[in-house]
Amino acid sequence: MLATPEIGRHLDDGAHEALWRRYTGIVVNLARSFLGIGAPIEAPDAGRARASWGWIPALSLNAAVSLVLIALALSPVDIAGAPKTVLFCAGIFLLFFPLVTRIVWPSTSRFEQIGLLLVAVAALYTLKLLTSPFGFAGFDEFLHWATADDILVRQRLFTPNALLPISPLYPGLEIVATAVVNVTGLPLFASAFVLMAVSRFVFIAALFLFFEAITRSSRLAAIACVIYMGNASFPIFHISFSYESLAIAFLVLAFLAASRVRARATDHWGRGLVLAAPFLAALAVTHHLTAFIASFMLALMTAIAYFGRLPRKDCVALAALTATSAFFAWGWLQIIGNPVTEYLAPNLQGAVADFIHLVTTWSPARKPFVSTDGSLSPLWQRMTMLVAMLLICLGLTMGFFRALHLAGVAIERRTGRIPIAVRWTNDWLVLLILVATAFPITVIFRLTASAWEIGNRLGPHVYMGVAPVVAIAIVGAWQGRSTNPWRAMAVGAALTITLAGGIFTAWGGPIELPRRYKVIADQLSIEPMGIEAAKWTKDWLGTDHRFVSDRINRLLLSTYGQQEVVTLLHDQVDTSWLLFGDRLGPEQLNALKQASVDYLFIDMRMTQALPRLGVYFESGEDPRLHDTPPESRNLLKFNKVPQVSRPFDNGYIVLYDVAPLVRSLRNGQ
Amino acid sequence: MDNRAHDLGPAIFATVCAVVGVMMFDSPVVRTIAGLPLVFYLPGHAIFCAAGRPRRGPLEVAVFTVGLSIAVTVFCGLALNLFGPLTPLRWAVALAAITLGAYWRAHRLARDHRPLPKVPLRLPALSRPRALMLVVSIVIAVAATTWSRFDALAYREFAFTELWMVPETRGGAVTVGIRNAERAPASYDLELVIDNHIVSVRRGIDLKVGEKWLSEFAWPTRDGKAHAAEARLFKRGNESVVYRRVWLRREAEGARS
């Protein structure tokens, strides 16, 4: 029988619908499989391997050889052969690729995983030393060096620091460093070196134990630690002598103490509280922002535990821990007179304004991969950083639902006003998943002019959530329990790219080797000539004179020179036009008088270029200073002033003694 | 004493040795060996024992021990600051007092029949070639770091000569200094001008790299008048150009008050 056209159309419709359903089903299944919705993770630690040294010795040797390559690449001397950037990248790849490939391998023992993590941390620490051969080199390191030096000289705490007025009020880091100096007799740099090394090893071991307690898998924990090392703060900033470096170790120790309580049925909440309390107290006197973040995360954890229907006594214990943390953070703030609001509020206000501007206009105030002086990172560096970020985003996408599944999150239907209820079994993992969702915000912050530093500072905390979620994606989807070496190498390569991306981002600009002096570029501006000039002031003029200088020489003067430097932050006097102005007018004379200046320390190299970090002196300075580099004749205008002496000249740095002029200004002459 | 308290003996002995080492010796090596455990290990270990040493794995014990030691050092510093200066002696005494006090508490716990659980610490066997590999890798890493430091210190991106002139603290003279930080030895001529009159010329001041030259010149200061002293440095081979210039200007007596 022949089908009528109408029946044929019905048949066509039916076939189309079936085909549509089939394709939709395939797409849905693919999406479910990609996202891991409802997919259980195969036991990550199936059959724990027997403890052995495994590849630790061989990979340590490999790491040492890689460090030699990196040292050659960082050498300031030009050498024939491959470009130094190639040598540097080869060293980084050779260092991390075998290490992380071995760590992700399913049958690696827990002992070996921990050992390899410690090797990675030691290698990163050595890398930091290789990048700063003169001792302290990072901007923040100088700020805390100045505070520690004051404690050693005056033998008391809370002495003012013009470079960072809040630093002496959070003296945890400096107390421990100066304790080592006092007890051992080592110089401050060596003591700080030992302290930061110990703190890094404790941090990574505590982080591993924390992740292990939450995920109940040493493999997941080890992979999560590797991913954590890929955050831009880890390779350089958190190894530097800075209060955040020690504070984050205290934070992880406190969280570890609290998390282990529930992981072990034999422990009591009380004991966990007692163990976590000293770390929270030490954290409160070490770093303000980290202490507030710890309190916030504990409060969030308490809420999660409450809504997750944790037994009442456990919720009370968590609430008590949150209250303890908040009490310490708030209490210390009150004791020191709450300078934090003044310190952080302008940054936060600017951050919110920039964030709103970015979201409403979609025009980033800060171009990615471009330094403030306009120098653009090379394509290979940009690509590595971009791919690293994309890999993290992919990991988050693929790990999110898998992590929820591992946390025992389930949606239940129920009767009543609210028809569904969400339940979970692993409160800490739920907390970390929530923390991971803040990752896009930190990325957006980095595109703003005012909030990029906040995004930078939040990064390490957000990575505490990002790391386990991405690790779950790796164990649940990317590699699973496969022992295929090619698959392991692909995962190893991906993790190496995330680590390299972190190092390249931490570099803070284009990687140009051999490294040469740049105008106001922190680490790249610290070199022997400036150091010797600062030391000269101490040897020939004595200490504690009041100096006006640029951002870099302020650091050198207050540490190597042990002088007092005038800053807008501390003295509320803007001295930028005193140096850059074309004449010595009333504004400049008033600045001299207000700040009681003794000497001007003028670095003529500022005339060569705009500042790489966007400021010649400090944030908040007049933007007109950045139109063009200053004129030499403006910097040297004091040559013509009768009451001003010029006691030092090395061809690049000139020193003016303005104390007699300031005296006569005070006398009204 | 209960036998179970005996495992604290070595720790107490180590604390006493550390304090003696820190307080009695000037050698940096001895003080470092004695002092580092006093800051980074012993206080935390003592407190951990005093808290009944909760049952945990060896890595966890190590992490909490070191972490607690650092935290205790922070509190100790704050407390010491309340009562006086932060001197080496006071630091050593304070850390030792905390450590020994906590061990005393741990000893009391053990005496009251609450045995301290042992921390199982069993490292896997390490063959000789593998141990050698570890040692060699440490040696290479240390050598690379040391070489890198010396390499960076030896390299001078900026070649320069420092010239300075500072008044003597009691007046009556000025010190003029030259330091050669060029890439090669250099020869200089120095001209001293006081109140627009050349008063001294030194020719052929030969300085090797890193070498310094100092000289004092008389400068009239007791007449109460304003004076100016200027030093001009010329580099041999380019005598027509003033290479460096520094000066001092002294106000008249009345203007200074």
Let me know: does A192 contact A125? Beta carbons within 8 Å: no
Q: Which residue has the higher pLDDT, A3 or A182?
A: A182
Write phi, then psi, for A397 (nearest 5 degrees): -65, -45
Q: Is there a contact between A155 and B78 if contact means CB atoms under 8 Å apart?
A: no
Which pLDDT does position A422 carry in this prediction? 86
Which pLDDT does position B251 carry in this prediction? 76
**CA of A480, closest CA in chain B: separation in Å?**
27
On chain B, the residues whose CB falls within 8 A of the CB of A669 are: 255
B 125-164: CB under 8 A from A: 126, 130-131, 133-134, 136-138, 140-141, 144-145, 147-149, 151-153, 155-158, 160-164
Which pLDDT does position B115 carry in this prediction? 63
Which pLDDT does position A27 carry in this prediction? 86
Which pLDDT does position A114 carry in this prediction? 96
Q: Is there a contact between A75 and B151 if contact means CB atoms under 8 Å apart?
A: yes
B252 close to A (CB below 8 A)? no
Q: Which residue has the higher pLDDT, A26 or B37?
A: B37
Q: Which residue has the higher pLDDT, B197 or B118?
A: B197
Let me know: does A247 contact A156? Beta carbons within 8 Å: no
Which pLDDT does position A603 carry in this prediction? 97
The chain B residue lying nearest A112, using CA atoms, is: B124
What digits encode the pLDDT tens for the residues B199-252?
Answer: 999 999 999 999 999 999 887 766 777 888 999 999 988 888 999 999 998 877
pLDDT at A265 over 60: no
pLDDT at A202 over 80: yes
Positive or negative CA dihedral for B25, B28, B30, B35?
positive
Q: What ipTM does this complex have?
A: 0.89
On chain A, the residues whose CB falls within 8 A of the CB of B251 are: 643, 660, 664
What digits encode the pLDDT tens for the residues B126-154?
Answer: 899 999 999 999 999 999 999 999 988 88
Interface test with B, best of A70, A121, A156, A182 (most B CBs within 10 A): A182
Cα–Cα distance for residue pair A429/A211, rounded to 1 Å: 9
B178: helix, strand or coil = strand
Which pLDDT does position B3 carry in this prediction? 44
Helices (H), A542-642: 551-559, 568-571, 576-580, 586-594, 632-635
Which pLDDT does position A8 carry in this prediction? 62
Strands A546-548 and A599-603: parallel
Confidence of residue B171 (pLDDT cuts 50, 70, 90): low
Of B32, B68, B134, the CB nearest to A186: B32
What digits encode the pLDDT tens for the residues B5-20?
Answer: 456 888 899 999 999 9
**CA of A444, closest CA in chain B: separation in Å?**
34
On chain B, the residues whose CB falls within 8 A of the CB of A516 are: 157
On chain B, the residues whose CB falls within 8 A of the CB of A267 are: 54
The chain B residue lying nearest A652, using CA atoms, is: B160
B 166-205: CB under 8 A from A: 166, 177, 181
What digits encode the pLDDT tens for the residues A564-614?
Answer: 999 998 899 999 999 999 999 999 999 999 999 999 999 999 999 999 888
**CA of A311, closest CA in chain B: separation in Å?**
23
Which pLDDT does position A43 carry in this prediction? 54
Which pLDDT does position A81 carry in this prediction? 64
- Which of the 8 DSSP states describes residue B202? E
* Structure token digits, residue A390: 């994309």
On chain B, the residues whose CB falls within 8 A of the CB of A528 are: 153, 156, 158
On chain A, the residues whose CB falls within 8 A of the CB of B165 are: 647
The whole-number average pLDDT for the span B71-97 is 95
The whole-number average pLDDT for the span A626-632 is 93
Q: Is there a contact between A249 and B161 if contact means CB atoms under 8 Å apart?
A: no
Confidence of residue B2 (pLDDT cuts 50, 70, 90): very low
On chain A, the residues whose CB falls within 8 A of the CB of B28 are: 184-186
Residues with Cβ within 8 Å of A499's Cβ and at least 6 positions away in sequence, in order, are A92, A96, A100, A226, A229, A230, A235
The secondary element (H helix, E strand) that includes residue A253 is: helix A243-263
Least confident of A157-166, A303-312, A625-634: A303-312
Q: Which of A373, A379, A374, A517 is nearest to A85 (CA)?
A: A379
Q: Is there a contact between A275 and B51 if contact means CB atoms under 8 Å apart?
A: yes
Of B74, B248, B257, the CB nearest to A286: B74
Strands B173-181 and B160-167: antiparallel
Percent of chain A residues topping a pLDDT of 70:
93
Instruction: To the nearest 10°, report the CA torsion of B11, B16, B22, B24.
Output: -150
Q: Is A542 exposed, middle or buried (0-12, 13-18, 19+ CB in 10 A)?
A: exposed
Instruction: To the nearest 10°, report the CA torsion of A227, A233, A238, A243.
Output: -130
Percent of chain B residues topping a pLDDT of 70:
89
Which pLDDT does position A20 carry in this prediction? 86
Span B160-255: which CATH code? 2.60.40.10
**CA of B6, closest CA in chain A: separation in Å?**
25
Q: Which residue has the higher pLDDT, A22 or A645?
A: A645
pLDDT at A669 over 80: no
**CA of B2, closest CA in chain A: separation in Å?**
25
Of A133, A158, A669, the CB nearest to B149: A133
Q: Which residue has the higher pLDDT, A174 or B195?
A: A174
Q: Is there a contact between A209 and B75 if contact means CB atoms under 8 Å apart?
A: no
pLDDT at A390 over 50: yes
Cα–Cα distance for residue pair A633/A639, rounded to 1 Å: 9
Which pLDDT does position A6 carry in this prediction? 64
pLDDT at A126 over 50: yes
Residues with Cβ within 8 Å of A19's Cβ and at least 6 positions away in sequence, in order, are none
Q: Is there a contact between A57 and B78 if contact means CB atoms under 8 Å apart?
A: no
Q: How many A-B residue pairs are in contact by the CB < 8 A criterion? A: 265
Q: Which residue has the higher pLDDT, A127 or A260?
A: A127
Q: Is there a contact between A541 and B166 if contact means CB atoms under 8 Å apart?
A: yes
On chain B, the residues whose CB falls within 8 A of the CB of A126 are: 141, 144-145
On chain B, the residues whose CB falls within 8 A of the CB of A60 are: 133-134, 137-138
Which pLDDT does position A4 carry in this prediction? 57
The whole-number average pLDDT for the span A71-98 is 88
Of A76, A122, A669, the CB nearest to B155: A76
Q: Is there a contact between A175 and B78 if contact means CB atoms under 8 Å apart?
A: yes
B221 close to A (CB below 8 A)? no
Domain limits, chain B: 3-122, 125-155, 160-255
On chain B, the residues whose CB falls within 8 A of the CB of A65 are: 140
Percent of chain A residues topping a pLDDT of 90:
62
pLDDT at B118 over 80: no
**CA of A667, closest CA in chain B: separation in Å?**
8
What digits encode the pLDDT tens for the residues A238-258?
Answer: 889 999 999 999 999 999 998
Other CB atoms within 10 Å distance of the CB of residue A379 = 9
On chain B, the residues whose CB falls within 8 A of the CB of A64 are: 136-138, 140-141, 144
**CA of A387, closest CA in chain B: separation in Å?**
30
Q: What are the beta bridge partners of residue B162?
A: B179
Mean of the per-residue pLDDT values for chain A? Answer: 89
Let me know: does B243 contact B250? Beta carbons within 8 Å: no
Positive or negative CA dihedral for A497, A503, A509, A511?
negative
Which pLDDT does position A1 carry in this prediction? 45
Cα–Cα distance for residue pair A340/A293, rounded to 1 Å: 14
On chain B, the residues whose CB falls within 8 A of the CB of A647 are: 164-166, 246, 248
**CA of B176, closest CA in chain A: separation in Å?**
9
Residues with Cβ within 8 Å of A141's Cβ and at least 6 positions away in sequence, in order, are A192, A240, A241, A242
